[in-house]
Structure formats: C-alpha cells, structure tokens
Structure 1
C-alpha cells in the first residue's frame, strides 16, 4: 500500500551501479580529508574513529557528540560530520535500496521490518498524514534505530519518493546533531576552566546516565506496546 500519487522509487535512475555505491563513501572521504585541514592529527584520527562508531551500532549521536566535544573537537564540526553521515547514509539507501535487500540477513530483516511496519500503519492510517514532518522528527530524536538507515526504510513504507526521504533524513540529521552539540557546548561553557577535565567528565557521565535511564524506560514502554 502506498500513498496515492506518490511513487516509491522516485522515478527512473540510469546512473551506473558503481557510481551509486561509491559516491556516498567518496563524499564522506572528502569531509574527512577536509576536517584534517582544521584539526590536529590526534583529533583528526579521533574524528575518524567517531565516524566509524556512529555508522556501526549501537552508539548514536547522543553518545558520539558529547565524547567528541569532551575530547576537544569543535562542537560545530562533530555536529556537521554526523549530520553529513546521515545524509550520506540516506543517499546510499536511496540509490541502492534494491541492492541492500539482496544482502544476506540484512535484506530479509528489512523485508520483515517493512511488513510489520506496513501492518502497523494500515491499522493507523491517520499517521500517514504527517509522513514528512513525522519522519524528520523520527530521525532527529536520538533513540536506538532512528538513524538514516531505518529512516530510509520507514520512508519507503510510507510510500515517499527518494527525494522526500533524503530531504527528511538530512533535515532531521541537522536538527538532531546541532541541537545536541549546542546543548553540550553550552553545558561545557558553564563549567569553570579551573575545574579541570575530571569535573567535565563527571558532568557528562551524569548526563549520559540520565539519557541511558530515559532510553531504558522508553525501550520497556515500546516492548509493552509491541
């Protein structure tokens, strides 16, 4: 079932397959090389580790951004980097969704996820009226499974075009990353410089613990609803 008048494939795409696979990774490489012109070598390598950690579950922006700021990476750079990774992930999924469905274990999981989600939406058709804004909010909120990959799958279930899905993921990624980075940077500036790094670490630990408790509570509620 798709929304009336909306094509789920976004039209024909005659780009070569190798181009659609490689371009998102090349764009990430360009961003990483550009960051090397700004950061010292040590922080540059730390940024690379954080980029990898963000792509590989279970760490999300709510963990990566505070850690990056605490390690000296500018708040705007870590926020831009993670937002760009969301864009690159959305672009990869938009161009290579049929290819991803053929990946062992991953493809069958996506198909089961879409079938269950489609059933859920069919029982609640009013949710599809807010498809665009809803997907932006879904991507921007930092909880497990709210990144560009799952966001792309949700957009497919809603019958959105590639352009719509990529726009939602990009906007949601920018809002989520910069909101967290600005908040952490503000908290960091409230801590006196003479307090030392251990005080900053303790503050971030308290914030992280609070976020973990909130996430666990949300997970239990979601399991109960399921």
Structure 2
C-alpha cells in the first residue's frame, strides 16, 4: 500500500496526520458552528479522549445542542484518527514519551481482558467488528486495535474493521439518541427518570473502572 510506504519513509507522518485530522475538523467546524456549539464540540472531544465514557458521550453531545449527525460524525472522526494512529505506530508507541507508559498499561488491560474472557482469542473479523460496533465499556478503536493485533490480525485489516465498526456504532447511537430525545420531549416525567438512571449508571461505571484500575496496579 502506498500509504504504508510513505509512512515508512517519513515516520513522523504517522504521528502528525491523525492529530492533524482532528485539528482540521475543529477548524472547519469553527467556520460553520456558532461559538456556543464550538465550546460544546471541544468539550465533547476532550471528554471522549480523556475519560472512559466512550460513545456514551454522543447523547450528551446531542443534549448540548449538536445535531445528531454532527455528534456521530465527530466521534467517528476521533475513532478514525485513533485507528489510523494505531495502524501506523503500534510497534513504535512504546518508545514515545508519555504515550509509551499509557500503551504498556493498555496492553496489560487487554491481556487481562483476554485472560478473563478466553473466548476473545477466537475473535474473527466479524466478532471484532461487532465488539467495536456495540457501545461496550472500553470497546473503542484503541482497545479494538490492540486486541486485533494481539490475536494476530494484519494492522490494516484491523484498521478497516475499526473504521467500519465506528461508522456503524457512532451513527447508529447518534440516530437512536436523537429519536429518544424527541420522544422524551413529550414525556417529561419519563425523560427525567431515564436521565437519572443514565447518570447513575455512568457514575457507577466510572467508579467500577477506577476500582478495577487500582486493583491491577
């Protein structure tokens, strides 16, 4: 593949391009979105990259005012950049300052996940696609890419699986969340109940994630 040859000749491209895609997307968005939605967009991007909330940030983005399709495209683009970064740099990540320790911890997490769920070793392309598509805790393109590489899949095969899974999962969740929002507008009591349950579930999931991380350290 030409893209692989270019990255091999100029290794820095593999690091710069994924981040450049995100910056270009933000710059283009700043032209078309009002300032309040730019703030919402930046908050969504920061929350998605810095927390384990995953695609569950999409309903939050829609509530914050972003159109459902924009919320879905935003998360898809972040996943695309992450998958591209992993495809180009997986073997070199451990030598990058600050990123290396994170990657080593991610490998430990994946190995622990596979150890606790031996059936993952029998992952095929279809099951890996399903794993990335569903809004499972931790089932993003970074985790999916590591699982795919650890079970022996080709890096670019894993990349396209990540892209397809994210496209289906992100757009599907965005459309579903917007449909639910429209329904709940006319059912305020039901909406408040579901919102409280969702917030409690997200908080409990975050506490469980922190407890699990501490137990592994």
Shift of 1:46: 1.4
Which of 163, 175, 180 is matched with 1:182 structurally? Answer: 175
Q: Tell me the SS of whatever aligns to 2:48.
A: helix
Q: 1:194 to 1:109 in 2, by over 3 A?
A: closer
What's the secondary structure of 1:98's corresponding residue?
A: coil
User: Which of the pair has more CA radius of gyration?
Assistant: 1
Query: Which structure: greater helix fraction?
Result: 2
Report deviation, 1:111. Answer: 4.5
RMSD in angstroms over aligned alpha carbons?
Answer: 3.4
- How far residue 130 of structure 1 moved from its aligned partner, in angstroms, is 4.8
CA distance in 2 between counterparts of 1:169 and 1:34 reads: 24
Which residues in structure 2 correspond to 1:124-143 (within 5 Å)? 130-143=123-136
Question: Over residues 74-112 of structure 1, what are the superposed CA-to-partner deviations in whole Å (9 max), with x where a residue is unaligned?
Answer: 000010110111110010011111221224433433454
SS at match of 2:165: helix
Equivalent in 53, 57, 60 of residue 51 of structure 2: 57
2:71 match: 78
1:17 aligns with 2:11: yes
Q: Distance in 1 between matches of 2:86 and 2:125?
A: 17
* Superposition deviation, residue 168 in structure 1: 0.9
CA distance in structure 1 between the aligned counterparts of 2:183 and 2:113, rounded to whole angstroms: 43
SS in structure 2 of the partner of residue 105 of structure 1: helix
Structure 2 length as normaliser, TM-score?
0.78
Structure 2 residues not aligned, in runs of 5+: 213-217
Q: What TM-score, normalized to structure 1?
A: 0.75
What is the aligned length? 205
1:145 is paired with a residue of what secondary structure?
A: coil
Higher-RCO chain (CA-CA 8 Å, sequence separation at least 6): 1
SS at match of 1:69: helix
- 1:59 and 1:47 map into 2 onto residues whose CA distance is 16
Q: In structure 1, what is the equivalent of residue 101 of structure 2? A: 105
Specify every segment of 5 or more residues in structure 1 that has no aligned partner in the other structure, as ranges: 1-10
- Specify which of 151, 157, 160 is matched with residue 158 of structure 1: 151
Deviations 1:42-62 (A, max 9, x none): 111210121111011222111
